[in-house]
Structure 1
Amino acid sequence: MSEVIFGDYTISSDPQRLDAARVHHWLSTDAYWALGRSREKQDAAIAASLNFGAYEGSSGEQVAYARIVTDYATFGWLCDVYVDRGARGKGLGTALVTAVRDHLEPVGLRRILLATADAHGVYEKIGFRALESTDKWMALGVQ
């Protein structure tokens, strides 16, 4: 478990702090990649992932979320990164993803991937780059 302070926020991987109902609401109603996702599906995703939340200092209210699916050896998939609309524009998304990256650094993953339609700049700030050779990658399921 890790914890990082960023301004008035605490970023934590403590699963006991997660507000699963809030995470589900954010993703299923406001995240283009997860619209309509069921609560059961979201709870299963949380249970099978390494999860991070960002919490407002005075209230302890969760204001952001990210999860990573990983084997803790070679590969990770960063997904469901979401910052509450009221907490955006303060660098919290970058701080959250940085905390995920730094938490996993000692493991020595060969690759962490993600997909985004609109936040390339956030991820580029901490070292993510577009894949140079996409012809090797394939997907099974909805494109």
Structure 2
Amino acid sequence: MDNLIIDTDPAKLDIAYMTAFLSQTYWAQGRSQAQMQQCVDHSLNFGVYLQGSQIGYARVVSDTVQFAYLMDVFIDPLHRGKGYSLQLVDYILQFPELRNVRVWRLASNDARGLYGRFGFTPLAHPEKMMERIRP
């Protein structure tokens, strides 16, 4: 489809582009380029490219057996509505190192329909979940 390429090579990522986009989102507002680089350095990264230019991104933090957390998923607004996010999530869930992960988690205010297509549901037992957020 449109020569879309999904690549896990972090050297190909456009950190400045990703920072500019993600630092404006509700989930990563204000993230600096140095922080974005640190996120990349400690994640399995999925760059999305069309005709040689990066148009999207996602990353996974995982032990590759029990748990994986999908985060920072985006497709540039200029390229939305073409099924690229579906291809990206499918690629990630079928990725060899992640294919057998037992528990996947993510957080989303606006893409629940997308993730629901892949079997993501609200937490079965949210009362068991805890979090710690630094101010």
TM-score (norm 1): 0.87
Partner of 1:49: 43
Q: Which consecutive residues of structure 1, in runs of 5 or more, have no partner in the other structure?
A: 1-5
Aligned partner letter, 1:51? N
**3-state SS in 1 of match to 2:23:** helix
**Corresponding residue for residue 78 of structure 2:** 86
Q: Provide the rounded CA distance (Å) in 1 between the counterparts of 2:26 and 2:32.
A: 14
The sequence identity of aligned pairs, in percent, is 38
- Aligned CA-pair RMSD: 1.4
Equivalent position to 2:29, from 30, 35, 43: 35
Aligned to 1:16: 11
In structure 2, runs of 5+ residues without a counterpart are none
- Show CA shifts across 1:77-110 (max 9, x none): 10000110101111111111111111010xx211
Paired residues in the alignment total 133
Aligned to 2:104: 112
C-alpha separation between the residues in 2 aligned to 1:74 and 1:138?
Answer: 18
TM-score by length of 2: 0.92
Determine the C-alpha separation between the residues in 2 that align with 1:142 and 1:80: 19
Cα contact 1:20–1:43 (8 A) shared by 2: yes
1:27 Cα deviation (Å)? 0.2
**Offset of 1:16 from its aligned partner?**
2.2
d(CA) in 2 for partners of 1:142, 1:116: 20
Rounded Cα–Cα distance in structure 1 between residues aligned with 2:134 and 2:109: 15
- Kept in 2, the 8 Å contact 1:94–1:126? The answer is no
Structure 2: distance between partners of 1:95 and 1:51: 15
2: distance between equivalents of 1:93 and 1:142? 30
